[in-house]
Each structure stands twice: as structure tokens, then as C-alpha cells.
């Protein structure tokens, strides 16, 4: 007679193993089906990707420059506050010494006034708020206690301000580290892509870059556009003296520059202080159209204003372009112009 026993169910562990194996097999087969064979990028494709990464690195560089400037400003403000607190503490000690001398004199003449004795053992705020105590103090004592109270409040406010600025400084330093890592990451990725080129392709790309730099300085026609002002002319001449200096992120001369480093340095040579970052420089004055530009005006590019240069005349900008390039002239039509600003 045939057996009607049900087949034994597989164990939970066996089901789990089989299910996992099946899922892995499906995933592997899907990956194999979707994986496209790796294709070597052409030289032009590499250049396009690298240029994009350089733009991203410059965006991060402007944020890095901003964090550096903020850090420097906070450090100066904190130092000033700490100096003020130190001097204020000396003044407070002198005021307290004066009260102590007053108490000593009172004791020698027949005992310390109860209100002064009370003050010397506690906080003057507790007594100045009580009318009964004020009645017991001489006008000189009231004035001395009021000065102590005012100085204590001033010092407390300054210490609280310093504490907040120290917190801000710590956050700024953390941001600085992140932006440095971001810039380095973009440049490392650009280098990795460049390394996929053959030696011959790399040499050709370098030759093209060198040719672009030479042609921009040797044959550029700046026309006869006048300078916006004497200081704009002086800033432009200073920038011209740095032609062929290499771009390097986060620097503002004398050996290397980034874009806003060049413009801020150039105006500094004309004894005009302007902010360090392109975004801040863009806020210096009304916006100018292309037709309104004169030599030495600041000119800004890209929607987020992460690139800046000096107008050179005849549709040319003098700027520090990006990593791998040098300070040079370039046609403004090569970048998305936004507006100009006259300093």
C-alpha cells in the first residue's frame, strides 16, 4: 500500500540559506547584465570632466577663503575682547581696593559702616537693590558701589561675548577643515582622471594649455578702454605684473593666486582694501552691464559668483583661471558673465 505521509518540510535554516543563495545569484546575474564594459575616455572627454572638477574645486575654494577670513576676523575680535576683559578686571580690582581702603578708614575712626561691611562679604548687586541699604550709605560709597556694579556687568557681558565667539571660531575651524578636504578631493579626482590618459595624450593636453597661456599674453588686443579710476588703473597694473604666476587655491600672492586672491591683492597694491572672497567682492557696488565696464572693474562669472577677475578692455578679463593654469588674459565669452562692480 502506498504511503500517504507528507514529505518532511525543510528546516528554517535550510530555507534561509537557499533563499539567500538564490537572491545572490539573481543580483549577480543582474549586475552582469547591466554592467557596461569600461570605456576609456578620449582626451577631450577627460579635459571636459577635469575642467568641471576644477570649477567645483574653485567653488569650494571660495568657501574655504571665506572661512579663513572669518577665522582671522574672529581671532582678532576675541583677542580684543580678552584684552578688554583683562584691563576691566584691573579696573574692578582697583575699585574694590578703594572700597577696602574706605572700610579700613571707617574702622580706624570707630567701626565699619554695616552696609560697607555687608558689601565686602558679598555681591554689591544685592544691596544696591535695597532702598534701606542705600539710606545707610554715603554719596561717596554709593558712587563707588555703583562703579563696581557697572564694571562687573560689563565684564560679564564681555566674557559671554567672548564665549560665543569662541564657539563660532570652533565651528569655523571645522568648516575650514571640511572645505580643505573638499578641494583636495576634487583635485585628486581630477588627477585620477588625467592619469587615465597616455603619456602622449597628457603631453598634448599640456601643450594646448601652454599654448592658450602664451597666446593670451602675447597677442591679446585690449583696445583703448579707459580705466574706471586711478585706483582701478593701479590695481590693474599690479595684476598685470603677476601674469604667468600659477593658480593655487587659497592663496593671494606673491608666488601664487586663486581668483579672488588676485583681485584682492591687486587692489591692495592700490591701497584699497576689499574683501577676500568673490561673493563678498560682488557686494561692493552697483552691478554693471558689459557695455558699462571699464579697465580695472571687477567682473564676476557663474550663477553663484564663484569666479572673479579684472576687466582688461575689449571683452577680455585678466584673472587666475583654475588649477593647472596661470594668471592670464582670456575672452570673457569663454565663461558665463554675470555683472561687473566698480570699486
**CATH code for the domain in which residue 111 is found:** 1.10.287
Residue 181 lies in a domain: yes
Residues 228 and 181 in one domain: no
Q: What share of the chain is helix, strand, coil (3-state, %, to 5)?
A: 60, 10, 30
Residues 188 and 278 in one domain: no
Residue 12 lies in a domain: no
H/E stretch holding 51 reads helix 43-108
Closest CA to 260 of 278, 285, 240: 278
What domain count does the chain have? 2
Which positions are catalytic? 259, 307, 319
Structural domain of 86: 44-194
**Cβ partners under 8 Å of residue 50, min gap 6:** 190, 193, 194
Q: How far apart are CA 317 and CA 243, in angstroms?
A: 12
Residue 163 lies in a domain: yes
**Domain endpoint, select from 194, 225, 246:** 194
C-alpha cell at 44: 577631450
**Domain endpoint, select from 194, 229, 255:** 194
Residues 279 and 178 in one domain: no
Residues 174 and 222 in one domain: no
Residues 280 and 188 in one domain: no
Residues 251 and 139 in one domain: no
Residue 159 lies in a domain: yes
User: Which pLDDT tens digits describe the chain residue by residue (343 residues)?
Assistant: 444 444 455 444 444 433 444 444 444 344 434 434 346 788 889 988 998 999 999 999 999 999 999 999 999 999 999 999 999 999 888 888 877 665 565 555 555 555 555 555 555 555 555 444 445 556 766 777 788 888 889 999 999 999 999 999 999 999 999 999 999 999 999 999 999 999 998 888 888 877 776 666 667 899 999 999 999 999 999 999 999 999 999 999 889 999 999 999 999 999 999 999 999 999 999 999 999 999 999 999 999 999 999 999 999 999 999 998 999 999 999 999 999 999 9
- Supply the pLDDT for residue 117: 52
Residues 189 and 49 in one domain: yes
The CATH number linked to 331 is 3.90.1720.10
- Supply the pLDDT for residue 341: 98
- Supply the pLDDT for residue 285: 93
- Supply the pLDDT for residue 146: 83
Residues 185 and 227 in one domain: no
Residues 96 and 134 in one domain: yes
Rg of the chain (C-alpha set): 35
Residue 94 lies in a domain: yes
Residue 27 lies in a domain: no
Residue 119 lies in a domain: yes
Stated length of the chain: 343
- Supply the pLDDT for residue 40: 77
**Domain endpoint, select from 163, 194, 225:** 194
Residue 305 lies in a domain: yes
- Supply the pLDDT for residue 126: 58
Output the pTM of the full model. Answer: 0.67
* Secondary structure of residue 10 in the 3-state scheme: coil
Q: How far apart are CA 242 and CA 226, in angstroms?
A: 21
- Supply the pLDDT for residue 39: 64
Residues 184 and 235 in one domain: no
Residues 187 and 55 in one domain: yes
- Supply the pLDDT for residue 44: 87
- Supply the pLDDT for residue 116: 54
Residues 249 and 171 in one domain: no
Amino acid at each position: 500500500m502506498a504511503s500517504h505521509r507528507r514529505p518532511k518540510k525543510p528546516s528554517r535554516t535550510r530555507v534561509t540559506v537557499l533563499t539567500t543563495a538564490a537572491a545572490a545569484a539573481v543580483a549577480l546575474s543582474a549586475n552582469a547584465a547591466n554592467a557596461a564594459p569600461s570605456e576609456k575616455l578620449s582626451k577631450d572627454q577627460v579635459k571636459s570632466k577635469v575642467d568641471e572638477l576644477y570649477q567645483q574645486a574653485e567653488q569650494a575654494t571660495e568657501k574655504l577663503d571665506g572661512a579663513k577670513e572669518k577665522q582671522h576676523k574672529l581671532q582678532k575680535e576675541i583677542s580684543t575682547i580678552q584684552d578688554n576683559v583683562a584691563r576691566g578686571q584691573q579696573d574692578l580690582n582697583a575699585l574694590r581696593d578703594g572700597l577696602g581702603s574706605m572700610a579700613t578708614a571707617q574702622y580706624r575712626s570707630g567701626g565699619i559702616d554695616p552696609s560697607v561691611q555687608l558689601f565686602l562679604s558679598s555681591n554689591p548687586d544685592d544691596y544696591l537693590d535695597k532702598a534701606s541699604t542705600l539710606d545707610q550709605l554715603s554719596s561717596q560709597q554709593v558712587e563707588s558701589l555703583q562703579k563696581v556694579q557697572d564694571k562687573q556687568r560689563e565684564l560679564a557681558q564681555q566674557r559671554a561675548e567672548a564665549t560665543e565667539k569662541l564657539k563660532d571660531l570652533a565651528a569655523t575651524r571645522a568648516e575650514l577643515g571640511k572645505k580643505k578636504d573638499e578641494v583636495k578631493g576634487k583635485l585628486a579626482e581630477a588627477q585620477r582622471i588625467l592619469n587615465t590618459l597616455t603619456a602622449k595624450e597628457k603631453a598634448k593636453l599640456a601643450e594646448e594649455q601652454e599654448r592658450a597661456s602664451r597666446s593670451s599674453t602675447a597677442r591679446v588686443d585690449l583696445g583703448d578702454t579707459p580705466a574706471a579710476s586711478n585706483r582701478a588703473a593701479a590695481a590693474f597694473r599690479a595684476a598685470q605684473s603677476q601674469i604667468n604666476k600659477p593658480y593655487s587655491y587659497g592663496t593671494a600672492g606673491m608666488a601664487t593666486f586663486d581668483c579672488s586672491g588676485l583681485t584682492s591683492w591687486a587692489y591692495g597694491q592700490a591701497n584699497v582694501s576689499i574683501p577676500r572672497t568673490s561673493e563678498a567682492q560682488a557686494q561692493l557696488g552697483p552691478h554693471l552691464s558689459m557695455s558699462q565696464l571699464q579697465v580695472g572693474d571687477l567682473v564676476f562669472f557663474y550663477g553663484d559668483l564663484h569666479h572673479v577677475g579684472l576687466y582688461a578692455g575689449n571683452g577680455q578679463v585678466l584673472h587666475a583661471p583654475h588649477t593647472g593654469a596661470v594668471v592670464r588674459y582670456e575672452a570673457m565669452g569663454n565663461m558665463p558673465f554675470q555683472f561687473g562692480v566698480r570699486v
